[in-house]
Amino acid sequence: MTDAALRWTTGWQFPAPARPWRGSAYAATTAVTSSVLWLLLAIPLTPVISAVVVLSTRPTGAYLIVSAGLLLIGLGLLASLGPRLALTVARAEQWRLRLLDGAPLPHRGHSTHLWRAVAHLVLVGFLAPIWLGALAVLALIVVTTPLSVEHWISDVGSLTGVLVRTTGGLLLIPVLLYLTPLFGSGHAALTRKLLEPEPSEDLVEVARSRARLAHAFDAERQRIERDLHDIAQQRLVALTMQIGLARLDLPGSSPAAAAMSAAHEQARTLMTELRDLIRGISPRTLRELGLLAAVEELAAASSLDVHVDVTPGRYCAEVETAAFAAISEALANATKHTDSTQISITARPEAGQLLIEVRDSGQGGADPTRGSGITGLADRAAAAGGRLLMSSPAGGPTVVRVELPCAS
């Protein structure tokens, strides 16, 4: 669950770690990874450091030959073991990222570039110890705070200093709890940027082609919606009015009056169905007022108890359309195929993505292969550059999660 960020009255948003416990676990395993890495790097670095020491202390005679030999040995080991070690650490890191969001780096049919793996090795070996050391200093101050109290018991004269140290240690506890997952999440985000494999040109063209098809489909759907609204619906309204006026000219007891009344009622029903059809094709509320208003309207029309928690704001039409389609389909599936009575809908921007989650209280056991709705939504999310995830264990609950890239 994502914790809400602290918001001040000025509207400035204080950055908060998205997943505190996961971020802390990632930070802890980063410390282990960095330690193991330095143990492995000690093999090629020991001759290099020894050569530097020899050159700095005895830069003459045979010591130059010894230091040159040590330097060549160390650099040779580093050149042969470094790339393999970098790729091994990169592959392990792809799975360690599951600690944050449960998802490893995507595999696109080829390995990570060597220079990216080496850059990540530098990140883990040199940058990580810096922020881990800062956290360790804070933790040391917090841990040694009780020692100040013990010293005060034996030396009453140092009460002022002990109070200052104790207060500072206590104030550093929330700082430590905040910075640990924040640094861990930042390190993981940088790791993803470094290690995420670049797609091939063929995959890029396929993605662009799929996006163009999705845009063309949306444009055609909007054209159909306009034609239905501006032409078919207006003609049906006029026809309903004409039938109603004709019914007034007939005697109430005549058979024709009964037939005209039935025709008038059918025309009104057809007009309502056409209006609902137009709203389903391209909701006007979504286009004019945004995702929040459209989802609230959808929830109000549902027969279930729907809790809506959508962050206000506007996004591009493609993102809003894909998000609304996912919410609408998930809500319809929960109404038709489950015994759920309560549904929660959340949508919030986070780290450049719009995260949508629909959770019901049904019995679970949903199978995406039995229908085309979820598959179609997954294709639409992929065309928008996102992805759709679904969890539906036996006994429930069923959770549909959609992640769509959006402007931050």
Same domain, 74 and 97: yes
For the chain, what is the total number of helices (H) and then of strands (E)? 14, 7
Distances (CA, A) of 67 to 58, 59, 78, 133, 348: 10, 9, 16, 32, 59
Same domain, 163 and 187: yes
8, part of any domain: no
**Of 246, 281, 316, which marks where a domain is finished?**
281
Same domain, 103 and 171: yes
> Residue 349 sits in a domain of what CATH number?
3.30.565.10
List strands edge to edge, sheet with 387-391.
305-310, 342-350, 353-360, 399-405, 387-391
365: left (phi over 0), alpha (psi -120 to 50) or beta: left
**Of 195, 217, 248, which marks where a domain is finished?**
195
Is there a contact between 329 and 377 (Cβ–Cβ < 8 Å)? yes
Q: How many structural domains comprise the chain?
A: 3
- Whose CA is closest to 27, among 159, 124, 169? 124
User: So what's the pLDDT on residue 181?
Assistant: 81
376: tokens are 């179609």
Same domain, 129 and 235: no
Same domain, 41 and 180: yes
- Whose CA is closest to 15, among 351, 353, 356, 405? 351
Going by their DSSP bridges, the two strands 6-7 and 13-14 should be labelled as antiparallel
**Of 177, 195, 213, which marks where a domain is finished?**
195
10, part of any domain: no
Same domain, 226 and 305: no
Radius of gyration of the chain (CA): 32
Same domain, 142 and 246: no
1, part of any domain: no
Going by their DSSP bridges, the two strands 305-310 and 342-350 should be labelled as parallel
Q: What is the mean pLDDT of each run of 10 residues along the chain (408 residues)?
A: 31 47 79 85 82 76 77 81 80 75 52 73 85 85 65 53 66 80 81 70 58 66 71 81 82 80 84 70 76 88 88 86 85 79 89 88 72 71 81 82 80
Print the domain residue range for 210: 201-281
User: So what's the pLDDT on residue 10?
Assistant: 30
